[in-house]
Amino acid sequence: MKLKDPYNRPASNLRVSLTPACNLRCIYCHAEGEVSPESSLTAPEIARIMQVAHEFEFRSVKFTGGEPLLRKDVLDIVRSVPDGMESSMTTNGTLLADLAPALCDAGLSRVNISLDSLDHETYKAITGKDCLDEVVAGIDASLAAGLTPVKLNMVVLKGINDHEIDEFIRFVKGNRDLILQLIELMETKGCSYHSELNGLEERLSERSTQVLTRRMHHRKKYCLEGSEVEVVRPLHNTEFCAFCNRLRLTSDGKLKPCLLRTDNHVDVRGKTGEELRELFIEAVRRRAPYYR
d(CA 291, CA 261): 12
Name the phi and psi angles at 97, rounded to 5: -55, -45
Angle at 219 between CA 216 and CA 222, to 5 degrees: 130
Domain 13-285: assigned CATH number = 3.20.20.70
Per-residue model confidence (pLDDT) at position 31: 60
Going residue by residue through the chain (292 aa), what tens digit of pLDDT does each one get? 899 999 999 999 999 999 999 999 999 886 644 557 779 999 999 999 999 999 999 999 999 999 999 999 999 999 999 999 999 999 999 999 999 999 999 999 999 999 999 999 999 999 999 999 999 999 999 999 999 999 999 999 999 999 999 999 999 999 999 999 999 987 666 667 878 888 888 999 999 999 988 766 667 899 998 999 999 886 556 777 888 999 999 999 999 999 889 999 999 999 999 999 999 999 999 999 988 7
Alpha carbon 209 to its chain's center: 27
Predicted TM-score (pTM) of this structure: 0.94
Per-residue model confidence (pLDDT) at position 185: 87
Per-residue model confidence (pLDDT) at position 33: 47
Which DSSP state fits 95? T
| Segments making up each domain of the chain, as ranges | 13-285
